């Protein structure tokens, strides 16, 4: 294809941008997958990506619902004379089309990364000025998911920049999930519903449960800090099927304790957050695998109602979170933020649920709900009696509540 034809196609796509929209019927439940950044950062190549896909299938994670293999920053090579991006020839010698074909042959989907600025956060070529060309290239390769970052964006308007890449993806003609990653700095929950399928609400997470990592000019945040960063009572009203709040990828399996990993995963399920693993799937141990593939916890996250949970209150210094589910069921998660074990007594009858947003309620003085223990996979009595238990430090007790037939 000659230069004039390339320019014609780009101008043609630009002329159609007023008719563009985001692809619908994607991410109707929070996306589930894996991303390279948390464990590998820039040390990524096609062999690792293929091995992650193999491990996602062989470990049973794909059967549990995980489907995206997402390459983060540092895959980029040079642009050609026409401005089209190509992968780094050393890291990805077979090319992205061959890699996408391999991922698809496994029954999985491939995600990729770019940035609204001139350069990515890792210093590679960003998409500024090349949005339509990049979208065409991704479509040609067979990409299914785009994480779009916000480094080196001086002078850009966030909503406008993400509209541009949304329109470019739509005109390229291949449905892709668009993950907006500007850390919540520009209040994307106010404008991103019709642009992306998920948007970051926080800064970057790292593998610590209750910490802040000071990089000098910016911070990484522990799990509890991420939970506290935004007003959840506001955020939950803007999320739902096809448009999710994203508190960042998970650090399960990256060095925290089993208790902390379990609490981390539970809270992401309660928040209806995307479940994007970030560990080395090739070396996953059994406790980590059991957390990431717990079917009862995943069912809470993937619930078709698509309602994000909320903080119901605090009892004995333990946070109590509630998530409305289909069929007027509920998930309840007791989160012990302390490193010390916490003894709690929770009187269901004095703690009715009344969620005005979902218009679901439970009056335990009038109705009895059976308790199913998510992490022990067993029935655990009902709401007729007060709950009396001890929750280990940095851990959770998580239930699914279903109205009793009696």
| Contacts with 71 (C-beta within 8 Å, 6 or more apart), sequence order | 36, 44, 49, 110, 111, 112, 113
Active-site pick, 73, 204, 246, 280: 204
119 is written with which tokens?
A: 């350069």
Active-site pick, 72, 144, 149, 280: 149
- Is residue 149 flagged as an active site residue? yes
- Is residue 231 flagged as an active site residue? no
The rounded distance, in Å, linking the Cα atoms of 20 and 42 is 33
204 is written with which tokens?
A: 């970057």
CA angle 25, 28, 33 (to 5 degrees): 110
Per the listing, tokens 């916890």 go with 297
130 is written with which tokens?
A: 């090349």
179 is written with which tokens?
A: 């993950």
Beta-sheet pairing, 145-149 with 109-115: parallel
Note the Cα 191 to chain centre separation in Å: 19
The rounded distance, in Å, linking the Cα atoms of 228 and 56 is 31
Sign of the alpha-carbon torsion through 24, 28, 33, 38: positive
Catalytic residue positions, numbered? 149, 204
């Amino acid at each position: 294809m000659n230069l004039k034809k390339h320019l014609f196609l780009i101008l043609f796509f630009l002329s159609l941008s007023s008719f563009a929209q985001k692809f619908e019927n994607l991410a109707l439940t929070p996306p589930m997958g894996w991303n390279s950044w948390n464990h590998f950062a820039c040390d990524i190549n096609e062999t690792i990506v293929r091995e992650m896909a193999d491990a996602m299938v062989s470990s049973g994670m794909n059967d549990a619902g995980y489907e995206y293999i997402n390459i983060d920053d540092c895959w980029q090579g040079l642009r050609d004379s026409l401005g089209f991006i190509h992968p780094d020839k050393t890291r990805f010698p077979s090319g992205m089309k061959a890699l996408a074909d391999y991922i698809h042959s496994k029954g999985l989907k491939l995600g990729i990364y770019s940035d609204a600025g001139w350069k990515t956060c890792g210093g590679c070529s960003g998409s500024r000025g090349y949005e339509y060309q990049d979208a065409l290239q991704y479509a040609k390769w067979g990409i299914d998911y785009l994480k779009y970052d916000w480094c080196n964006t001086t002078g850009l308007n966030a909503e406008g920049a993400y509209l541009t890449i949304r329109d470019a993806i739509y005109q390229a003609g291949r449905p892709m999930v668009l993950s907006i990653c500007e850390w919540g700095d520009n209040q994307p929950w106010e404008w991103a519903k019709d642009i992306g399928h998920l948007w970051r609400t926080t800064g970057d997470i790292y593998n610590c449960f209750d910490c802040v990592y000071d990089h000098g000019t910016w911070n990484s945040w522990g799990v509890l800090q991420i939970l506290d960063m935004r007003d959840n009572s506001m955020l939950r009203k803007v999320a739902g099927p096809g448009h999710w709040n994203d508190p960042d990828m998970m650090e399960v399996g990256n060095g925290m304790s089993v208790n902390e990993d379990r609490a981390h995963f539970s809270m992401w399920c309660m928040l209806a957050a995307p479940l994007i693993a970030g560990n080395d799937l090739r070396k996953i141990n059994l406790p980590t695998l059991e957390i990431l593939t717990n079917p009862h916890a995943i069912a809470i996250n993937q619930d078709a109602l698509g309602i994000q949970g909320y903080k119901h209150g605090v009892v004995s210094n333990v946070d109590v979170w509630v998530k409305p589910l289909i069929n007027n069921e509920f998930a309840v998660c007791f989160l012990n933020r302390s490193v010390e074990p916490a003894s709690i007594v929770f009187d269901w009858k004095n703690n009715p649920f009344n969620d005005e947003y979902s218009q679901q309620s439970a009056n335990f003085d009038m109705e009895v709900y059976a308790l199913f223990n998510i992490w022990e996979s067993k029935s655990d009595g009902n709401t007729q009696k007060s709950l009396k238990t001890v929750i280990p430090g940095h851990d959770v007790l998580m239930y699914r509540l279903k109205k009793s037939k009696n």
